[in-house]
Amino acid sequence: MSKLNIAVITGAGISVESGLSTFRGAGGLWEGYDIHVVASAEGWRKDPALVLDFYNKRRKQAQDAQPNKAHLLLAELEKLAEVTIITQNVDDLHEKAGSSRIIHLHGQLNKVRSVKNSRYVLHCEEDIELGQCCPKGGQLRPDIVWFGEAVPRIEPAARVVSRADLVLIVGTSLQVYPAAGLVLEASPRADIWYIDPDPGEDLIPYFGDRLQLVRKTASKGMLEFLNWISERSEP
């Protein structure tokens, strides 16, 4: 019997239990910063030093964070199914937990790239300052997809979703596009599980009885899902 092919779409809610904040908090603030100032190409042009300082702080925060039970259960899921994680998160908690196939839609905090060459990408654990450049003189910036920028990995992610037997959504409001539209790429035969304390019902008209809404935190919802998939996988 072949393993189930599962596409997992994760958002900021899965990292909350690890102490990392979502960016859709009160007043549009992210760790005390206006998200449109620190997470947009316009904000970078206006004040690159501020943007670098913000991401330096977030990088350190992510380095200190540890995967929670939801991350660990997703890694364990690979024993029962073919799993590809498509994450909107820029932390590396899925990697720390042991998941092996991960698509980072919005980039990663531990990588930087040149403003002159998007293919010049470096692994980065330290602070980045103004004046740190690639060999061709391009300032290094976070390898993060900001508001208003293209999402280079959206097409590979869409292919993963379209081929899945089951789509599992964990800890995302499905409000940020184009990532929010990925679930609509699901096969007409695919089941959909949506784990979130407040998942909403916007997907019901699209998926009807194929949609399972689990109104729980990421960890509790993942435990329920893993128990379900374990029973389904038993001979």
What are the residue numbers of the active site?
A: 106
How would you class 64 by CB atoms within 10 Å of its CB: exposed for 0-12, middle for 13-18, buried for 19 or more? Answer: exposed
Give the sign of the dihedral formed by CA 11, CA 17, CA 18, CA 22: positive
Of 170, 138, 146, 117, nearest to 55 by C-alpha is 146
Of 177, 3, 161, nearest to 84 by C-alpha is 161
Of 10, 105, 112, nearest to 51 by C-alpha is 112
CA 159 to chain centre: 17
Asked if 154 and 180 count as a contact pair (C-beta separation under 8 A), the reply is no
Cα 170-171-175 angle, rounded to 5 deg? 110
**Collapsing DSSP states into helix, strand and coil, what is residue 230?**
helix
